[in-house]
Amino acid sequence: MNAHHPSEEMLRRYARGDDMAADQLWAVESHLETCAPCRGRLAPEPIATAVWAELAPLIERMPQMPRTHAWRRRVHGWVSPAAGPWLVMILLVTAAAVALDQLGSGAGVSLVLLIAPVLPVLGVAASWGRALDPAYELTAATPRAGLPLLFRRTTSVLAVVVPGLTAASLLTGLGPSRWLLPCLAFTVGTLALGALVGITRAAIVLIAAWVLAIVAPTIAFSRTSVALDLAATPVWAGVLLLGLAVIAVRRMAFTGLEANR
């Protein structure tokens, strides 16, 4: 009876409840009351309904956001999230030591050689210590806590420290045999002592011992300490092995809070 059916556009706006002029709204409403075909046009599209019914559960299950960056996840499988800034600092300190050595300010004593053993200690402390890793307790309570994660994180520290020092020793003409063993011995020593008294304390003790026993006399007497001489190699190797043995015996310490102190 009413030949003037509302347009598709008008019906859609009405269905959505969009803002419409009062007279238009009134016209559409009164038309719908009397016109069954137009009421039919108002009903939801069956195909759209069917598609939506299929899609909704999928959308429910799928995250709305992109997955976290795969490379970042892979990196954090090895590098402790707390260690990043410290690794950068380690490289900067290495570069500074090279620069000072090049300027010849060490008076015959190589700064690179002096800092090599303590550089990884900082990285290890940042990877497992309570003082530098805010999420230490959370990590300690997870199934990944323990030797495998500890070795991953330590490896990542060495993967930064050793290439840095290699470059430094090439630039300053220093043989890697002079610094590699002390560097590894200090790394393992921090972990071994850490298993007994906690990583943070171990790092502080070892750095203090290094400064007092090696750095201070070296600077005071302007000659490289015997500890950094090639003759000391067997001693460093012994320390390294002893450290590995202690870690193996005390490995359970790394699955709890003991090693985080």
Partner 1 sequence: MIEARDLRVKAGRRMAVEGVTLTLGRGVHGLLGPNGAGKTTLIRTLATVLRPAEGKLVVLGGTDPRQLRRRIGYLPQEFGHYRRFTVREFVAYVAWLKEMPDRDVPAAVQRAIERVGLADRADDKLRTLSGGMIQRVGIAQAIVNDPEVLLLDEPTAGLDPAQRLRFRELLVELGADACVVVSTHLVEDVAAACTDVVLLREGKLVFQGTPAQLAAAGTTEHVGDTPIERGYSAAMGAPNRIGSW
- Restricting to residues 75-94, which ones interact with partner 1 according to CB under 8 A? 76-77, 81-82
Pick the piece of the chain touching partner 1 (CB under 8 A) from 36-44, 107-115, 128-136, 186-194: 128-136
73 binds partner 1 (CB under 8 A): yes
Under the binding rule (CB under 8 A), the answer on residue 251 touching partner 1 is no
User: In this chain, which of 137, 177, 226, 248 binds partner 1, going by CB under 8 A?
Assistant: 137
- How many beta carbons lie within 10 A of that of residue 19, not counting itself? 7
The nearest distance, CB 142 to partner 1, in angstroms, is: 4
The C-alpha atoms of residue 54 and residue 44 are separated, in whole angstroms, by 16
Q: Does 222 bind partner 1 (CB under 8 A)?
A: no
**136 is a site residue for partner 1 (CB under 8 A):** yes
Residue 82 or 228: the one with the smaller Cβ distance to partner 1 is: 82
Q: How many residues lie near partner 1 (CB under 8 A)?
A: 30
Taking only Cα atoms into account, the Rg of the chain, rounded to an integer number of angstroms, comes to 34
Which residue, 31 or 76, has its beta carbon nearer to partner 1?
76
**Which of 17, 46, 63, 173 contacts partner 1 by CB under 8 A?**
63
Helices (H) and strands (E) in the chain, counts: 14, 0
Query: Smaller CB distance to partner 1: residue 244 or 257?
Result: 257
Q: Which residues contact partner 1 by CB under 8 A?
A: 61-65, 67-68, 72-73, 76-77, 81-82, 133-146, 255-257
